[in-house]
Amino acid sequence: MNAQVKPFTLRLDTRKGKVDMTHGSGGRAMAQLIQELFLKHFDNELLRQANDQASFDVHAGRMVMSVDGHVISPLFFPGGDIGSLAVHGTINDVAMSGARPTYLSAGFILEEGFPLADLERIVISMSRAANEAGVPVVTGDTKVVEKGKGDGVFITTTGIGVVPQGIDISGDRAVPGDLIIVSGSMGDHGVTIMSSRENLEFETSITSDSAALHTLVEQMVAVAPDIHSLRDPTRGGLATTLNELAQQSQVGMQLSEAEIPVKPAVASACELLGLDPLYVANEGKLICICSEADAERLLPVMRAHPLGGESAVIGRVIEDPHHFVQMETLFGGSRVVDWLTGEQLPRIC
C-alpha cells in the first residue's frame, strides 16, 4: 500500500464498480484503489507514510509473529465476515503466546469482477475490528487475478506482538495434574458457517463467536503469569487442538463430556448433520492449561470478562505414553477423542 498521490479526477465507484485487472497492475488504477479504499478506511500514522514497509520502534521483550490466510466461504456470515475474521484470527494467534499484539499487515488477493461495494464493506469491517482491538493495519499488499481464478477475495494477515518478561506460554509445557479450561461454548463458528451456505441452510439463532481474545489473555496473564499452554481451537475444533497439545507436551488428557459447554442449538445442528461439535471450529474461544492453583485464580477473571463468561474446567492432563485424549461420556462410558481425519467443514476460516 504505497500509493499516496494527488486526488483523482473521477472518484472510485464503490457503489457499482468492480475490481478489474488494472487494480493490480501497479499503475494509476491501483493507486486509486489503495488511496480511496484501503488508506481511507485503514488510515493510521504508519500506513500514511506510504512506504513499501512499516517502520516502528521495537519494544523490550520477546517479539512474536504469526501469519494466517483466510479463504472462508461465504464471505459474509452472521456475526462477522472475512475482514473481521482476518483481524481476529491473527490477533488470537499472537495472543496465545501471552503476547500483546501491536501491528498487523494485510495482503489481498482479489478476483477480477469482484464488486467494489463488497470489497469496501469488508475493508470497513476489517478496519473496525482492528480499531476496536487497538491493533492497526500498518502495511499491506494487493494483487488481482483473472476472473474464474479466485473466489472473490482471499486475505492474508500477519501480526506481531511482544511477550512481557517472565511469560513462557507454549504448547509443550502441559504437565500431568494440570487442569484444562475452555473460555466458552464449542462449535459456534463452524455451525454458523454451515448454516450460511446455500445448500446446508437451516434455522438456527447461532452466530459466529469471532472475536479478538488478547484483552482476555492480558487479564489472565496478569493473575497467573505461569500459565503453561494457550491455544485457540479453530480448524479441527477442541478435539484436534487438544491432540496437538498432548503430542507437543508428551502427555495424555482426560475430559468430561458433561463439563464441555455446547449450546443446545449447536448440538442439535451437529446431530442433524452427523457432526461432532468437538471437531467444529471456533474463532473466539481459547483453551488454557495450567496448574490447579492457577485455575482457581483464572476462572473468576475469565468469567468476569465479556468473552469468558462460560469458562469451565473440562478435564485434566494425565500421564499417558500414547498421548491419547480420552473422554468420560454423558452415559458414564469412555472413548478416545482422536485427531480429526479428513475435512469436516472446508473453508471455514
Nearby residues of 198 by Cβ (< 8 Å), 6 or more positions away: none
Bridge pairing between strands 179-182 and 62-70: unpaired
Nearby residues of 240 by Cβ (< 8 Å), 6 or more positions away: 233, 279, 339, 340
280 exposed, middle or buried (CB, 10 Å; 0-12, 13-18, 19+)? buried
Q: Are 86 and 159 in contact (CB under 8 A)?
A: no
Residue at 38: amino acid letter: F
Domain segments of the chain: what residues? 18-163, 178-336
What is the model's pLDDT at position 274? Answer: 86
Nearby residues of 2 by Cβ (< 8 Å), 6 or more positions away: 34, 50, 51, 52
What is the model's pLDDT at position 288? Answer: 98
pLDDT in tens, the chain (349 residues): 655 556 787 899 999 999 999 999 889 999 999 999 999 999 999 998 888 999 999 878 899 999 999 999 999 999 999 999 999 999 999 999 999 999 999 999 999 999 999 999 999 999 999 999 999 999 999 999 999 999 999 999 999 999 999 999 999 999 999 999 999 999 999 999 988 885 666 665 789 999 999 999 999 999 999 999 999 999 999 999 999 999 999 999 999 999 999 999 999 989 988 889 999 999 999 999 999 999 999 999 999 999 999 999 999 999 999 999 999 999 999 999 999 877 778 888 9
Grid coordinates in use for 291?
496448574
**CA–CA separation, 190 and 172 (whole Å):** 27
CATH code of the region 178-336: 3.90.650.10
For 18-163, give the CATH class.
alpha beta
What is the model's pLDDT at position 211? Answer: 98
Stated pTM of the model: 0.94
What is the model's pLDDT at position 302? Answer: 98
Q: Using DSSP, state whether 194 is helix, strand or coil.
A: helix
Bridge pairing between strands 76-77 and 100-111: unpaired
What is the model's pLDDT at position 102? Answer: 97
What is the model's pLDDT at position 130? Answer: 98
What is the model's pLDDT at position 199? Answer: 61
Which among 323, 320, 171, 177 has a CA at the least distance from the CA of 248? 171
Q: Are 112 and 145 in contact (CB under 8 A)?
A: yes
What is the model's pLDDT at position 167? Answer: 95
What is the model's pLDDT at position 7? Answer: 72
58 CB-side CA count, 13 A: 6
Cα distances (Å, whole numbers) of residue 176 to 96, 162, 179, 312? 21, 29, 9, 19
Bridge pairing between strands 229-231 and 287-290: antiparallel
